[in-house]
Structure 1
Amino acid sequence: MIDATATAPLQRPQALGFWQAFRFWLKLGFISFGGPAGQIAVMHQELVERRRWISERRFLHALNYCMVLPGPEAQQLATYIGWLQHRTWGGVVAGGLFVLPSLVILIVLSWIYIAFGDVPLVAGLFYGIKPAVTAIVVQAAHRIGTRALKNGALWAIAAAAFVAIFALELPFPLIVGAAALIGYVGGRIAPARFKAGGGHGAAKASYGPALIDDDTPPPPH
């Protein structure tokens, strides 16, 4: 006998209150370790998979734009999603709380390192953190990469960009510009292969309807 709850469609999440979002962004500021890759992976897990506050396609689409812009892409992504949720103040809160807890922790850790950095126990703690953070970054890159790179063409662009950065040491703006040009041409020749998020409605099939779904219009400016 098939369990009816296993096949029942998921319901759209309830409307998100401002203070509920405030508490989430504050919590995220304290737990988002691993640099941009780790932070983006945590946001994807919390916002797309667990809470379904934004669809995967909208998330990846916003991430693509933030990666092109100068500056910290993880904070830009958080600010944009906060703006989608609660307009201007939502963006201010999301962007601010994304960095303020980290700043406080950084000040405390810096003081500990300056005051007790020569103590073997403290030095060992800091050196022990390094491989753990490296593992977080690698896992996060794999997590986001497997969702953004949906076919062989996108994997080929990613591999070429990797070679250009590490082997050829080409300038980053040149690599981004070349990838954008390839994406533009490829989108006109084979649009199905260059569609963000794996096609319209892909997030619904994976995680259910989201509060900010593929067809949700942005808030008025």
Structure 2
Amino acid sequence: MLSFGGPAGQIALMHREFVEERRWIEDGAFLRALNLCHLLPGPEAQQLATWIGWRLHGVRGGLTAGLLFVIPGALVMLGLSLVYVFAAGLGWFAGLFLGIKAAVLAIVAQALVRVAARALRTRLNLALAGAAFLALALAGAPFPLVIAVAALIGAIVSRARPDWLGAHGPPTGGGDGRSGRKLVRATLATVVTWGAIWVAPMLLVGATVGTGHVLWDVGVFFSKLAVVTFGGAYAVLGYMAQEAAGPLGWLSPREIVDGLGLAETTPGPLIMVTQFVGFLAGWREAAPLTPLGGALAAAALTTWVTFAPCFLWIFACAPWMDRIERSPALQAALAAITAAVVGVIANLALWFGWHVLFPAFDTSVPGWQFDWRAGFIAAVAAAMIFAWKRGIVTTLAVCAALGLALVLAFPGA
């Protein structure tokens, strides 16, 4: 309920609470677990919360910590999604969202700066980031392909020149202590169990409304997304926007930006924006269900297939943590993926900026229908975040109020 501000703030809060104050987790173990979470697809903060529960109380602890990290934000996002579909046509609501969307531009820019400062430390890192940006922005390459190529380059480079990527060397110290055979058996059992949990609602959907229904499409799409979401929520948003506002036709680009604005206002993982996308897809293509029934079912299914894999990754991989960390190829692949993610986020910032600042783009119109109100609010948001060091919640609140004021004062602008 308190973890606003994205994964960086959430991880810092967990470190302070569990390492520094309660002393439940040793600092070294916490950092090694964080490294593992960075290696895995999915939201790293939620996976780290799951790992903390698993470390303290096994699978029961992991379930408790992981679920309670997600549920509050999921419920808030569900409520906001309901407000969105019922109030989207009202003037005051449009004003609030004008401010929120403009603020999101500055928030994405802040994420880009933070990730770039951490990831782009060598020339090869810079080249990978630039290539990823060009591949997405100009060539329209699919996000999973960009990530896969970056990982392959990292693994190949690790054999000869790992220093080109700034990859960390393997840790020192002992291993897990259990035999590889026992770990393999336990891991296989975990994968089978959680794989069944992951696909169970899809079997229900197929048996009830069929594989041609939007619920099936939602489950398949977000299941794929759960496997390729390396680099956090900002990295995967570009791919989600590319598909949901493109071939799938579930939302408009403007609504994708609205969803990210809503996700920024809720606690918990930022990847909760996926629930908003699923909700609107179910709302619009619900038949034979009612729009509300389809929306609620799609939102629940999206959340399930997005976060159930997180438990699978942690419960299956955490016992292998020492061995995973000792793989130079994996470390280099992660460094390459992180560099490519900078280009992915840069492309996302460009995409968002285009649709917020030029909402009705037309080259035949002087000024390309630039929305000066959004531009002004985005400048205020940038000043609050970069110059005045204000938090995300404060920035969103101020910008929402500015948006409402400008829409009421200049309704036809």
Cα distance between partner residues in 2 of 1:75 and 1:177: 23
Once superposed, what is the RMSD of the aligned Cα atoms? 3.6
| Offset, 1:144 | 2.5
| Offset, 1:117 | 3.3
Deviations 1:33-86 (A, max 9, x none): xxxxxx2332354356896775696466335422xx3x5565445534654565
Partner of 2:102: 131
Cα distance between partner residues in 2 of 1:94 and 1:176: 29
Partner of 2:149: 178
TM-score, normalized by length of structure 1? 0.59
| Offset, 1:129 | 0.9
Cα distance between partner residues in 1 of 2:148 and 2:159: 17
Judged with a 3 Å threshold, the aligned counterparts in structure 2 of structure 1 residues 114 and 185 are, in CA distance, closer, same or farther, namely closer
Identify the range of structure 1 (151-160 vs 104-113) with the bigger mean alpha-carbon deviation. 104-113
Partner of 2:2: 27
Cα distance between partner residues in 2 of 1:94 and 1:220: 18
Residues 1:42 and 2:9 are matched in the alignment:
yes
2:34–2:44 Cα contact (<8 Å) kept: no
1:63–1:77 Cα contact (<8 Å) kept: yes
Percent of paired sites with the same residue = 38
2:88–2:94 Cα contact (<8 Å) kept: yes
| Offset, 1:108 | 2.0
SS in 2 for 1:170: coil
TM-score, normalized by length of structure 2? 0.35
Letter of the structure 2 residue corresponding to residue 41 of structure 1: A
1:151–1:193 Cα contact (<8 Å) kept: yes
Residues 1:160 and 2:131 are matched in the alignment:
yes
Partner of 1:107: 78
1:44–1:59 Cα contact (<8 Å) kept: no
Judged with a 3 Å threshold, the aligned counterparts in structure 2 of structure 1 residues 159 and 47 are, in CA distance, closer, same or farther, namely farther
Letter of the structure 2 residue corresponding to residue 103 of structure 1: A
SS in 2 for 1:27: coil
Q: How many residues align structurally? A: 172
| Offset, 1:103 | 1.5
Deviations 1:93-126 (A, max 9, x none): 3432332122211222223334433332222112
Cα distance between partner residues in 2 of 1:49 and 1:186: 36
Deviations 1:19-39 (A, max 9, x none): xxxxxxx532xx24xxxxxx2
Identify the range of structure 1 (50-59 vs 138-147) with the bigger mean alpha-carbon deviation. 50-59
Partner of 1:22: none
Residues 1:120 and 2:91 are matched in the alignment:
yes
1:48–1:59 Cα contact (<8 Å) kept: no
Letter of the structure 2 residue corresponding to residue 132 of structure 1: A
Judged with a 3 Å threshold, the aligned counterparts in structure 2 of structure 1 residues 163 and 90 are, in CA distance, closer, same or farther, namely farther
Compare CA radii of gyration and give the structure with the larger one: 2
